Amino acid sequence: MRRAGSLTAVVSDRYEDKGKAARTHPSRFDEEVVIIGGGLQGVTAALALAARGVRSRILEGRSELLRGASYRNEGKVHLGFVYALDESGVTARKMVEGALTFSDLIEGWCSEVDWHSNCSEGFDYCVVDSGLADATALGAHYEQVSSMIENASGALGDNYLGSSARVEPVRHRGSHALLAPGLSSDWFSTPERSVDPRALCAWLSAAATASPLVDVSTGVVVKGVVPIASGFALETVSGAGLERIEAETVLNCSWENRLELDRQALGKAPSACYRIKHQVLARGETEVDLAPLTLVQGPYGDLVSWPNGDVYVSWYPVARTFMGSSPSVGTEPDRDVAEATLEGLAAIVPALQGLEVVDHGAAWIVGEGEADIDETSSGLHARRAAEIDRQGGWWSLNGGKLTTAPLASELCVAELTGTEPKVATLESGLPR
Ligand SMILES: Cc1cc2nc3c(=O)[nH]c(=O)nc-3n(C[C@H](O)[C@H](O)[C@H](O)COP(=O)(O)OP(=O)(O)OC[C@H]3O[C@@H](n4cnc5c(N)ncnc54)[C@H](O)[C@@H]3O)c2cc1C
């Protein structure tokens, strides 16, 4: 196995610029880390390693980096508002922590970041009258989240996609102007926003490709793992055929295949619930003024409008096509599902009628529990923590959401290399 040799830390100047946690602890860790999976999780982990002078090699099964769930999502950097059914507040707090560290981390790793041209306006949360929670309960949750944001920003700062998250949600009585009548009697304007995932993926991909400490091997699928005396042997398949790659330290960021590879490496792994959700992007011939909307609280939908004119539409009853205990089917794009998703949301948001589907694809959502989103007990209503499992040289990482993935990478890599995280966290406790 190639060794990276003794390296001193290369700490991004951007952290210094921000004056934030600009600790230049060089890592004594001098092995190359093999990362399985080049999505948001794997790529941010590679960039966090590079920021400490540690070399990594990403093995990505697809022909390009960042074309899985990290490309095919809604890009909402959650502030916790949607997790009203987790009464413990833990999910909201995790989202606030992820959201308030997200932008500093991305800006520290990437040189091409333009939030302004690639982020939506704030989401309006429309309370569906027949939903799983009423406007009074939701209003109380939003107030609680707002004070979490206020308190957390003292420790974490308030760089939220280049803007501020410290804006209190406002309750508006009556139906939202974009909704068909008779569905909703209240809505809340919020500061929560979405970044176009295609732009985010492009910034990260450029940063990983430009880094001399990140080697990228695309089209390499890790089919199996065998523990060996010096670490792990990864059995891979690529255009070149079968190969065996030996590594002392492996970081498993393979999302839908993560637990199966953990099982082979460690002999055990917990179970999870796997859902396929479709990303549908639409456009009109003329630009329509569409505020980003989330219909709460239940199995409904979202719409996001980005500055380039693309509109993301989700209608949960149609866009979620598979649910099971293993990722046993493919995630091929499905035009019929895409059209039906747009049609489903357009029945509720009439301004969408006349838009055409311009792009679509599907990806995995890996979550807890077996109940679906229309049940209050569903694991989809709670994303409590990133999972970092480690044993010997095997590290396995699941940030849970786009929102929390960069922080999960930073914390995992700090632990792996014995260095300090480059952003503050809420580990000391956030008053609620
Ligand atoms: C439709 C949809 C909407 C979403 N909306 C949001 C949202 O608005 N906000 C939010 O916070 N989160 C959202 N999410 C969740 C978010 O997208 C994921 O949490 C996040 O992208 C996961 O990142 P990842 O890198 O772990 O996974 P991925 O991006 O899927 O990356 C995993 C990579 O590993 C590769 N891989 C897998 N197995 C192997 C193998 N055996 N060998 C080699 N390579 C392998 C894959 O090809 C892939 O590139 C959404 C998800 C979906 C599907």
pLDDT at 173 over 90: yes
Q: Exposure pattern of 149-181 as b/e (b: 16+ CB <10 Å)?
A: bebbbebbbebbbebebebebebeeebbebbee
Q: Which atom of ligand 1 is nearest to the CA of 43?
A: 25
Domain for residue 201, yes or no? Answer: no
Domain for residue 53, yes or no? Answer: no
Virtual torsion, Cα 108, 114, 120, 123, nearest 10 deg: 30
Cα-to-centroid distance, 179 and ligand 1 (Å): 31
Domain for residue 408, yes or no? Answer: no
pLDDT at 26: 56
CATH number at residue 316: 3.30.9.10
d(CA 40, CA 32): 19
State residue 61 phi and psi, 5-degree precision. Answer: -70, -35
Q: Which atom of ligand 1 is nearest to the CA of 68?
A: 30
401 lines ligand 1 (CB under 6 A): yes
Q: What's the total number of domains in the chain? A: 1
Domain for residue 427, yes or no? Answer: no
Average pLDDT, rounded, for the chain: 90
pLDDT at 143: 98
Q: Per mean pLDDT, which range of 6-10, 48-52, 123-127, 185-189 is the poorest?
A: 6-10
Cα-to-centroid distance, 226 and ligand 1 (Å): 25
3 state SS of 87: coil
Look at 367 and 291; give whichever has higher pLDDT. 291
Domain for residue 29, yes or no? Answer: no
Domain for residue 37, yes or no? Answer: no
383 lines ligand 1 (CB under 6 A): no
Confidence of residue 80 (pLDDT cuts 50, 70, 90): very high
Q: Which atom of ligand 1 is nearest to the CA of 220?
A: 43
HSE-CB of 312 using CA atoms within 13 angstroms: 30
193 lines ligand 1 (CB under 6 A): no
Q: What is the pLDDT of residues 258-269, one digit of tens each?
A: 999 999 999 999
HSE-CB of 321 using CA atoms within 13 angstroms: 23
Q: Three-state SS string across 28-66, please? A: CCCECEEEECCCHHHHHHHHHHHCCCCCEEEEECCCCCC
Tally of CB atoms within 10 A around 428: 7
For 363, the domain range is 120-193+272-381
List the residue whose alpha carbon is closest to atom 39 of ligand 1: 254
Q: Which atom of ligand 1 is nearest to the CA of 59?
A: 43
Q: Which amino acid is at 79?
A: L
Cα-to-centroid distance, 324 and ligand 1 (Å): 17
69 lines ligand 1 (CB under 6 A): yes
Omega of the bond prior to 353 within 30 degrees of 0, cis?
Answer: no
Q: What is the pLDDT of residues 327-363, one digit of tens each?
A: 999 999 999 999 999 999 999 999 999 999 999 999 9
Contact in structure between 95 and 401 (CB atoms under 8 Å)? yes
d(CA 190, CA 127): 13
Domain for residue 281, yes or no? Answer: yes
| Best probe residue, ligand 1, of 34, 35, 40, 315 (max atoms within 8 Å of C-beta) | 40
pLDDT at 154 over 90: yes
What's the mean pLDDT in 363-375? 75
Domain for residue 145, yes or no? Answer: yes
59 lines ligand 1 (CB under 6 A): yes
Confidence of residue 63 (pLDDT cuts 50, 70, 90): very high
255 lines ligand 1 (CB under 6 A): yes
Confidence of residue 20 (pLDDT cuts 50, 70, 90): very low
Q: Three-state SS string across 98-158, please? A: HHHHHHHHHHHHCCCCCHHHHECCCCEEEEECCCCCCHHHHHHHHHHHHHHHHHHHHHHCC
